[in-house]
Amino acid sequence: MRSIAGWPRQFMAAFFCVLLSGVALAQGKPNVVVLATGGTIAGAGADVTNSATYQAAKVPVDKLIAGIPQLTDIANVRGEQVFQVASESLKNENLLTLGHRVSDLLKRDDVDGIVITHGTDTTEETAYFLNLVIHSDKPIVVVASMRPGTAMSADGMLNLYNAVSVAGNRESRGRGVLVVMNDEINSGRDVAKTINIRPDAFKSPWGDLGMIVEGKTYWFRRLDKRHTSTSEFDIDKIKSLPLVEIAYASGNVSDTAYRAFAQEGAKAIIHAGPGNGSVSGSLVPVLQELRAKGIQIIRSSHVNGGGFVLRNAEQPDDKYDWVVAHDLNPQKARILATVALSLTNDSKELQRIFMQY
């Protein structure tokens, strides 16, 4: 067999043209970093029939990426294990760690987009947190799965492939943090987990932003709320997050949770009330008392499927100096309050923030 040095000149020229064109093609692909945090998408069950019974956060990121060789067709992908935690156990410290890493990576010229693999239980919270604090127009996509990769009809592989495709697409820039699952592209600001056992679990009350079919992205609308590069919050300036708690209210509710949270040092309490964030008559004096002690009271609604809390409806918010969460569900209201309180404790400023974000 002749060595390359013995090839005729025209063959040598053709060979190097093909080689250089391949290099140019690879260089032309977007550079996407997959940051792994754990969750069902990295989970494993004992049997292929186990779609709801499994152990989360077991598969490392390199194995997830290697399991989808087609990723190399759409992007230059590398992975990084930020932590390996079931998402229901994520703390504020985990959010800060992830946020700082995302911010650092997006400042680099050799990073075009970020994908974050995550557990579904708190996907909406992490996505909204990043939507508030990351100052970049580059795509940030949070992806998860409802079934472990060991299950029949597992959804993780396609979700991750779609997420990388969206993160590498320049049309995804400037749209805020995105959540990609079940072929849908949702805003991290709006999306919520609406059911716990089906792959179509994540929905936005105001509709999805777009869809992705066979790797191609189709956009329908944009997010009109402030986010990412237009946000007044900056992860690079946030070193810690204050304690904000959620108290769930229903019929026959007592003041036990509210007083306990106050005693533990909560700076704000999200009142997750029925209907229009309604407050039981027996609770009103308690919430007034806590507000007088400097604790912010934020009325939200635990109604599923959409809607928003109207200020001075049901309760005289102006009189009591309370804040309403507008259309944010209780868990998202907690995230925004936590971030906002890192800048201000003024109730009027907090209300402005809840209306703008």
What number of residues does the chain have?
357
3-state secondary structure of 322: coil
Residue 336 C-beta-side C-alpha neighbours within 13 Å: 33
Tell whether 110 is in a known binding site: no
Q: Is 344 a catalytic residue?
A: no
Q: Is 62 annotated as a binding residue?
A: no
Identified catalytic residue from 37, 40, 122, 217: 40
Give residue for tokens 């609406």. Answer: 194
Q: Are 247 and 302 in contact (CB under 8 A)?
A: no
* Burial (CB count within 10 angstroms: exposed 0-12, middle 13-18, buried 19+), residue 93: exposed
Strand-by-strand arrangement of the 184-187 sheet: 76-81, 31-36, 113-117, 140-143, 178-181, 184-187, 210-213, 216-219
Is 137 annotated as belonging to a binding site?
A: no
Q: Are 339 and 238 in contact (CB under 8 A)?
A: yes
The two tokens of residue 148 are 């472990």
Question: Which amino acids are annotated as binding site for substrate, given as ranges?
Answer: 87, 120-121
List residues with catalytic annotation: 40
